[in-house]
């Protein structure tokens, strides 16, 4: 039995998220179906580095699978891709160490959220269009309050399997690319809906309806304000998964240009 590391990109618009669930199409489910057909085996599983929400995209999601096969790496890559829908693509297949685990071995995840300041005909599925004037300076002042090891309980929904609600955010910043604003956040891991709620909070700060001090207060008590401000999934991308801290890149790039 050999272990393989897969790097996957996908447009999440049509899917209920990474993880398989009843009543919805998932990225994991599509990859599993493709692998079962390629390797002609039913008992196989694919483990992802993170569970992206419904409608969220990925540039470099990482997964691993165990399988007995004599196929070379390129044949595995092309064989899976030939059996996947066009909005999911395996961009790399590597032989992995037997103990490698896509989720447990990850030391950080990088997400970007794209906000458009104008209506766009081509990027609608990949941005959140905000009509209001936004202060990037205020957004960045708010984003600074996310950095560090903090309890993000107000930025997620209660889930029994989620465990601790503390996460360490290493980087949080908003950069301008013409009519596009990109919120880039890197952290140890992220809770369900956390990045979308962080985005909603900084957008509301950019509108002037919240102050940076308000954002700081969200870590001191219990409030449902971040939940009410949850950003839509369309603009969110899992950008990269890191397995060594020395590889972390604090560089923001947009996915689409407006």
Write the pLDDT tens digit of every residue in 183-233: 999 999 999 999 999 999 999 999 999 999 999 999 998 999 999 999 999
Full domain range(s) for residue 48: 2-96
pLDDT band at 125 (very low <50, low <70, confident <90, very high): very high
Domain boundary among 68, 96, 124: 96
User: 31 and 72: one domain?
Assistant: yes
pLDDT higher than 90, residue 256:
no
Return the CATH number at 241.
3.30.70.660
- The answer to whether residue 53 is catalytic is yes
Question: How confident is the prediction for the chain on average, in pLDDT?
Answer: 94
- Averaged pLDDT, 60-76: 96
User: 165 and 232: one domain?
Assistant: yes
User: 232 and 136: one domain?
Assistant: yes
User: 187 and 136: one domain?
Assistant: yes
User: 197 and 148: one domain?
Assistant: yes
User: 133 and 198: one domain?
Assistant: yes
Alpha helices in 99-224 (DSSP H): 136-143, 194-207, 212-217
Whether 252 maps to a domain, the answer reads: no
User: 166 and 231: one domain?
Assistant: yes
Residues 6+ away with beta carbon under 8 Å from 210: 142, 201, 204, 225
Total domains present in the chain: 2
Q: What is the pLDDT of residue 56?
A: 97
CA distance 234 to 60: 17
pTM: 0.94
Q: What is the pLDDT of residue 160?
A: 52
Return the CATH number at 67.
3.30.70.580
CA distance 62 to 150: 26
Task: Say which of 33, 53, 157, 224 is annotated catalytic.
Answer: 53
């Amino acid at each position: 039995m050999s272990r393989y590391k897969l790097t996957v990109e996908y447009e999440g618009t049509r899917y209920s998220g990474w993880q398989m669930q009843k009543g919805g199409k998932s990225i994991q489910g599509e990859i599993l179906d493709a692998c079962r057909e390629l390797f002609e085996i039913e008992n196989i599983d694919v483990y992802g580095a993170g569970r992206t929400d419904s409608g969220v995209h990925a540039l470099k999601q990482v997964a691993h699978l165990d399988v007995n096969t004599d196929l070379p790496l390129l044949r595995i890559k092309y064989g899976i891709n030939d059996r996947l829908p066009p909005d999911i693509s395996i961009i790399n297949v590597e032989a992995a160490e037997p103990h490698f685990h896509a989720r447990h071995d990850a030391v950080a995840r990088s997400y970007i959220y794209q906000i458009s300041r104008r209506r766009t005909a081509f990027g609608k599925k990949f941005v959140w269009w905000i009509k209001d004037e936004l202060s990037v300076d205020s957004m960045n002042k708010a984003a600074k309050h996310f950095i560090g090891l903090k309890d993000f309980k107000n930025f997620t929904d209660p889930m029994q399997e989620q465990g601790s609600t503390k996460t360490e955010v290493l980087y949080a910043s908003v950069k301008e690319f013409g009519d596009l604003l990109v919120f880039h956040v890197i952290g140890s891991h992220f809770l369900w809906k956390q990045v979308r709620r962080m985005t909603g909070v900084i957008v509301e700060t950019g509108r002037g309806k919240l102050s940076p001090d308000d954002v700081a207060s969200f870590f001191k008590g219990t409030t449902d304000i971040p939940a009410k401000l949850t950003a839509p999934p369309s603009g969110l991308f899992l950008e990269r998964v890191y397995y060594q801290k020395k590889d972390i890149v604090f560089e923001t790039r947009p996915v689409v240009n407006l």
